[in-house]
Amino acid sequence: MASLSSRARLRFNLSSQNSRVDAISGRLPQRRSDLSAELASEIIGKCYRQIFFHAMSFDRDPFLESQFKSGSITVRDFVRGLLLSERFYNGYVACNNNERIVEQVVGRVLGRPVYGSDEKRSWSIVIAEQGFSGFVDAVLASPEYFERFGNDEIPEQVNRTLPGRPQGEMPIYQRLPRYGESWRERLIRDGLMLSIDAFNKISRPMTVSRLIYEKPKGRLLKLWLLFLIVGGAGSLYLVLLIFSQMFTIR
């Protein structure tokens, strides 16, 4: 499968020097014979953080974890299971186009940014022809993955210490949000998410000046006009009542 996908892919230049160096962080010993229950749990946690950044209790896969702890699958198999999980599909695949999916997976699995538009286009063709699962298998079967992580090392970001910079490359989950602007605009348009302006309006405290000068839209406009009419009429009645009481001769 790997050889077929390699022949089908477009060629691209390795354009980023920062992506072809060793990681600066230390790695855990991960030979299968060295795995204790404590170490297996630590590796599982690191895999979740690498793929999901963080995982809530309901995001975890007990069956996949059990397979890894029993030695039935390798770290590479565990990572594949996380990538093909419903959690990853709903959170990263369904809400992105193919090129952004490539950025997300390459960043998390190969530990580096994509080399450029040529690589994104190359892997996008793999997704279009073989589906997302075929793309995941092709990445995990690539010589780059095996040379860097093999079967039993946790994928991690490739870093490079640069002069004048205290850290290497920014982590993928900080540099690249899980969905782009187009998906966010769609959620806002469908009423499933608040825009920044709408959120700021809701979070601001309600004052008299806001009620008077900030005209709402839609159905709220009718309520806003009714409030002004009732409030204005009530205020006028109160003023007349006060004057009437003040100037009434008893």
Per-residue pLDDT, averaged over 93-116, amounts to 88
pTM: 0.62
What pLDDT was estimated at residue 26?
Answer: 47
What pLDDT was estimated at residue 174?
Answer: 63
Residue-wise pLDDT tens digits, 105-159: 998 999 888 888 899 999 999 999 999 999 999 999 999 999 999 999 999 887 6
What pLDDT was estimated at residue 35?
Answer: 73
Please tell me which of 85-89, 158-162, 169-173, 180-184 the model is most confident about, judged by mean pLDDT: 85-89
Average pLDDT, the chain: 75
What pLDDT was estimated at residue 30?
Answer: 47
Q: Say which residue, 230 or 174, is predicted with more confidence.
A: 230
pLDDT band at 241 (very low <50, low <70, confident <90, very high): confident
What pLDDT was estimated at residue 180?
Answer: 55
Residue by residue, DSSP assigns the chain as -HHHHHHHSPP-----GGGSS--SS------GGG--HHHHHHHHHHHHHHHHSS--GGG--HHHHHHHHTTSS-HHHHHHHHHTSHHHIIIIITTS-HHHHHHHHIIIIISS----HHHHHHHHHHHHHHHHHHHHHHHHTSHHHHHHTTTTS---------TT-SS-SPPHHHHS-SS-HHHHHHHHHTTSS--HHHHHHHHSPP-HHHHHH----THHHHHHHHHHHHHHHHHHHHHHHHHHHHH---
Per-residue pLDDT, averaged over 37-58, amounts to 86
What pLDDT was estimated at residue 24?
Answer: 44
Q: Say which residue, 132 or 179, is predicted with more confidence.
A: 132
Per-residue pLDDT, averaged over 215-231, amounts to 71
pLDDT band at 161 (very low <50, low <70, confident <90, very high): low
Q: Say which residue, 244 or 74, is predicted with more confidence.
A: 74
Per-residue pLDDT, averaged over 222-245, amounts to 78
Q: Are 21 and 156 in contact (CB under 8 A)?
A: no
Q: Are 98 and 127 in contact (CB under 8 A)?
A: yes
What pLDDT was estimated at residue 159?
Answer: 67
